[in-house]
């Protein structure tokens, strides 16, 4: 369809919990928490989805399961069932593709739609009705004239509603909000902005571009201001995007303190990962290693290989070698390896 007039961001409400309720109607109205193996006493496992009832009790995605049990002891704790969520998501995306729109899938529970419609809210209502009738699921839909505005509008639409952010109401709605309300601005970036006297979206939008470029870099500085103005995200892409990377991570049942053991774990992961990507015909150009300590301090280091390769020895040596760029003075709870592929032009 090419250039389109409106972007809709479709976000399935409490998706995993909603899928579980379709399979278990007796859970209707009861707090539902999905994560790990469904055992709330399981160590080092976190919540992947909490129903709205559980969220009202202070349980959210990323909450340790043990903490979730303390906050919401009456909840139904269920294991993560990726196959069921994949199937439900595929059904929803097929419904979306039945509309005269571009569809860009962003995960199991969300997608952007690009539509040349004069009344995007009417389209949003049609989408909600079709998804509810065919799949039994509800969704919230944000409408915008950019991806960023549509994505943020969804937050005002939840649950099961429709909201619009466009060039006409962007500043009245967003100007007074903190900068980390923007999609793409995290707490650390917001803290850095605040240190320079920029605490709100409006202040960031009014900031001098040259000053932002000097403080945050020639790319990041102007990009931050663009976000504050409501731009960004590009057009909606219907075509599937080829994977550019693949990763493995492991959270250990006990913290690691011995560097040799860490190196062995990384080597094993890197070799398995290499076998997978080579089987798919991919060639690796960059390797990254991630370390998370027992205090949840997480850092990644990345290196570009001398030449793109499919050699497991080269890739595993690179992953292990990156350990030298970490201060391993605390016990380690998680290690990860990511490989980035060469991209055909």
Contacts of 188 (CB under 8 A, 6+ apart): none
Q: Which residue has the tokens 């919540």?
A: 47
CA distances from 224 to 82, 112, 196, 209 (A): 35, 22, 14, 9
Helix (H) or strand (E) holding 302: strand 298-309
The answer to whether the CB of 300 falls within 8 A of the CB of 235 is: no
Active site residue 110: yes
Q: What share of the chain is helix, strand, coil (3-state, %, to 5)?
A: 40, 25, 35
Catalytic residue among 110, 121, 267, 340: 110
Q: Which residue, 339, 345, 343, is CA-closest to 286?
A: 339
Q: Which of 174, 173, 186 lies closest to 220 in space, CA to CA?
A: 186
DSSP H helices, the chain, are 15-23, 52-56, 65-71, 82-97, 120-135, 147-157, 170-174, 187-195, 201-205, 209-216, 220-228, 259-279, 312-321
User: Is-contact 247 336, C-beta < 8 A?
Assistant: yes
Distance between CA atoms of residues 113 and 152, nearest Å: 14
Q: Residue 72 pairs with which residues in a beta bridge?
A: none
The catalytic residue positions are 110
């Amino acid at each position: 369809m090419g250039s389109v007039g409106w972007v809709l961001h479709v976000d399935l409400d409490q998706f995993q919990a909603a899928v579980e309720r379709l399979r278990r109607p007796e859970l209707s109205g009861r707090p539902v928490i999905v994560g790990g193996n469904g055992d709330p006493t399981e160590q080092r496992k976190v919540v992947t989805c909490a129903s709205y009832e559980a969220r009202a009790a202070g349980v959210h995605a990323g909450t340790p399961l043990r903490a979730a049990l303390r906050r919401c002891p009456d909840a139904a704790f269920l294991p993560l069932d990726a196959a069921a969520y994949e199937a439900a998501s595929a059904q929803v995306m097929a419904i979306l593709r039945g509309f005269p729109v571009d569809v860009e899938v962003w995960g199991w529970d969300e997608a952007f739609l690009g539509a040349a419609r004069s009344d995007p809210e009417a389209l949003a209502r049609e989408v909600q009705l079709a998804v509810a009738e065919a799949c039994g699921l509800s969704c919230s839909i944000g409408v915008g004239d950019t991806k960023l505005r549509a994505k943020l509008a969804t937050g005002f639409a939840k649950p099961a509603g429709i909201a619009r952010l466009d060039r006409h109401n962007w500043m009245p709605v967003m100007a007074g909000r903190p900068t980390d309300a923007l999609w793409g601005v995290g707490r650390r970036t917001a803290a850095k902005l605040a240190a320079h006297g920029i605490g709100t979206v409006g202040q960031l939008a009014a900031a001098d571009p040259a000053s932002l470029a000097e403080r945050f870099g020639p790319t990041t500085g102007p990009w931050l201001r663009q976000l504050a103005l409501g731009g960004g995200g590009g057009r909606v892409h219907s075509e599937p995007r080829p994977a550019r990377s693949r990763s493995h991570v492991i959270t250990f049942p006990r913290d690691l303190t011995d560097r040799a053991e860490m190196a062995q774990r990384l080597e094993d992961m890197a070799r398995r990962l290499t076998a997978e990507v080579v089987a798919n015909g991919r060639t690796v150009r960059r390797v990254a290693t991630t370390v998370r300590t027992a205090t949840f301090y997480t850092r990644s280091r990345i290196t570009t290989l001398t030449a793109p390769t499919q050699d497991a020895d080269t890739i595993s040596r690179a992953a292990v070698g990156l350990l030298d760029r970490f201060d391993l003075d605390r016990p380690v709870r998680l290690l990860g390896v990511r490989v980035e592929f060469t991209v055909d032009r």
